[in-house]
Structure 1
Amino acid sequence: MYSISRKSFLALLVFCAGIKSKIKYFYFSNSEIKTVTSFADVVLPIEEPGMPNLVEASVMRRLDEELYFVADEIQEDFHAAVMVLEFIPLLYWKFRTFSNMEKEERIQFLESIAETDSDTIRAVVGNLKLLVFLVYYGHKSTWDSISYPGPFANPPEKWSEARLHYQNLLKGNSV
């Protein structure tokens, strides 16, 4: 009998679920965008006065840009983490996937699993939260709201070759 690795099985599952159909972003699929946006919507303080929303802080675009250039193993792990987040409510007898829950339900669900004994669930939620926070608070639009004056001596932003390449891809230039 043929044995299949866990990563191969997850990749096959992701492919069969149609998650690999990338349209608007280079890394994320449409379903992953919906899941990560639903997650960021409840963990970030976007409804607080003076705080930018997800679009103003370019959260999804920066996540897509950063994850587009990482190693394939990291990309696969992140795809798997997003899939776990999307379907984990079903294991807790919720009859909707994460992105299809109402905002209050998502908040309550994340609070209910905060003290879980599952290392996997804690790792998925914690690592996704860390990455979303890093991108959100790393954007200049949040700095005034959190009283961060910016880098010392305020040097001009210098983009890496990877960021320039990503911007060219967005513009349709395949340089």
Structure 2
Amino acid sequence: MHSISRKAFLGLFLFCAGIKSKIKYFYFSDSEIKTLISFSEVILPIKEPGMPSLEEASVMRRLDEELYFVSDEIQEDFHSAVMVLEYLPFFYGTFRSFSRLEFEDRIRLLELWAETDSDTVRAVIGNLKLLVCLVYYGHKSTWVPISYPGPFANPPEKWSEARLHYQNLLKGNSV
């Protein structure tokens, strides 16, 4: 007998219920996306003239795509990291979650956390920042504004089977 994962079952159930089109992401929940957008707005130069927005650089879509295919242990670690980021302000005297803070307050907290003695806090923030920056600066729309000419010899982009599968999932094909 073939077992079906919870994700596959939920996706099949939602597809059969006719609301599959409302699913925006396969890995992140809506609240996690809100937290990551709030974080990305602070650490990325999206407000600088000529720099692409989060949507133009497909940051949330690529994060979702990359984390959708990693092992369950890594997925759980990133879910935990996003949750820690969201609720960490409560431990620093702020009575709002990270995604509900004003822009300046988010900057202030990230600066405070960069200097903390807690290895765990620095690891959470550092790893999330690394992944967000990797996805943002890995997108072609950021290359010209940062004066990066692209890879040597400009080879054509070749998508992995995982990326092709994710794109099929987005289109509603369960191939």
Unaligned runs of 5+ in 2: 1-21
Q: What does 1:109-128 correspond to in 2, within 5 Å?
A: 109-128=109-128
Q: Distance in 2 between matches of 1:66 and 1:29?
A: 15
Deviations 1:108-142 (A, max 9, x none): 11112211000110000000000000000000000
Q: Distance in 1 between matches of 2:114 and 2:72?
A: 29
| Counterpart check, 1:165 vs 2:162 | no
TM-score (structure 2 length as normaliser): 0.87
TM-score (structure 1 length as normaliser): 0.87
Q: Aligned-pair RMSD on alpha carbons?
A: 0.9
Q: Which residue of 1 aligns with 2:86?
A: 86
Q: Which residue of 2 aligns with 1:107?
A: 107
Q: Distance in 1 between matches of 2:83 and 2:104?
A: 21
Count the aligned residue pairs: 154
Structure 1 stretches of 4+ moved >3 Å: none
Structure 2 residue matching 1:74: 3-state secondary structure: helix
- Deviation of residue 46 (structure 1)? 0.5
Q: Distance in 1 between matches of 2:23 and 2:117?
A: 37
- Deviation of residue 53 (structure 1)? 0.6
Deviations 1:87-127 (A, max 9, x none): 00000110100000011110111112211000110000000
Q: Which residue of 1 aligns with 2:7?
A: none
Unaligned runs of 5+ in 1: 1-21
Q: Distance in 2 between matches of 1:153 and 1:114?
A: 38
Indicate the percent of aligned positions where both proteins have the same amino acid: 80
Deviations 1:47-80 (A, max 9, x none): 1111001000000000000000001000000000
